[in-house]
A and B are shown apart, each in its own frame.
Chain A
C-alpha cells in the first residue's frame, strides 16, 4: 500500500518536471514570437493561445485540477464562459451604433 503510494508520487514528480520544462519552452516561444512583430490581430491570438495553454498546465497539474472531481472542473468552465460573455459586452456598445 505504502509502496504503491510512493510510486504514484514518483510519477507525479516526473509530471511536475515535464510541466516545468513545457512552461519554460512556451515562455521562450511567446517572447520569441513577440520579436517577430506580427500584425496586432495575429500577435494577440498567438500570445493568448500560448498563455491559455500555460495557464491550463498550471491549473491542471500544479493545482491538481485534472485529478479533481468533474463537478469542480465544470464550475470553473462556467466561470470561464461568463468571463468571455463579460469580455464581449463592449461589442454590444459597438452594435448599438449600427444604423445611426
Chain B
C-alpha cells in the first residue's frame, strides 16, 4: 500500500498547515477590525492573510519541484495522481481566495468610505471562502500526508 509519508514531505506540509491556519486567524481578525471601525488594523491583518497565502504557495512550489525532480508525476501511480489532483485544485482555490482578498485590501477598500457595512459584509464573505479553503486543507493534510 502506498504510504503518503513515503513520497511526501511531512515537515513541509506541517509548516504549510500552520501557515494556512494562521492566515485564517488573520482573516477573522481583519473582519473583527472592521467591526471595531479600525481600518488601519484591517489593512494590516488583510495584508498578513494574503502574505500567508503566498507563503503557502511558495512552499507548495518547492514541494512540487522536489516531486518532479524525483520523477514523481501524476501518471506514476494512483496515489500520486490523487495527490496532485487534490492539492492542485486546492492550490487554485488558495490563489482565487488570495485574489479576492488582495482586491479587498487594495482597490476594493474604497467601498469602506462609502458604505462601511457593505464593505464589512464583503470581507466576511471572502473570509467564509478563505476559511473553507483552510478547512479543506485540514482534511487533505492528514489524509494525503499522514496516512
Residues of A at the B interface (CB closer than 8 Å) are 6, 9, 12-13, 16-17, 19-20, 23-24, 27-28, 30-31, 33-34, 40, 43-44, 47-48, 50-51, 54-55, 58-59, 62-63
Contacts and interface: CB of A to CB of B under 8 A. Distances in A.
Contacts, number: 76
Contacts of A54: 138
Contacts of B128: 63
A58 B142 contact: no
B146 A47 contact: yes
Contact of B135 (A6, A34, A58): A58
Contacts of B36: 6, 9
Interface of B is mostly: helix
A7 to B, nearest CB: 11
Chain B interface size, as a band, is: 20 to 34
Nearest to A23: B21
A55 B17 contact: no
A43 B28 CA distance: 32
Contacts of A34: 5, 10, 142, 145-147
A76 B146 CA distance: 27
A9 B132 CA distance: 22
B147 A43 contact: yes
Contacts of A30: 141-142, 146
B32 A12 contact: yes
Given A27-B14, A31-B14, A62-B25, 7 more contacts: A34-B142, A34-B145, A40-B1, A51-B138, A55-B135, A58-B138, A62-B24
Interface string B2-43: 000100001000100110011011011100100110000000
A16 B29 contact: yes
The winner among A47, A48, A50 for most chain B CB atoms within 10 A is A47
28 contacts: A9-B32, A16-B25, A16-B28, A16-B32, A17-B25, A19-B25, A24-B18, A27-B18, A30-B141, A30-B146, A31-B146, A33-B146, A34-B10, A34-B146, A34-B147, A43-B147, A47-B142, A47-B147, A51-B141, A54-B138, A55-B135, A55-B139, A58-B138, A62-B24, A62-B25, A62-B27, A62-B28, A62-B127
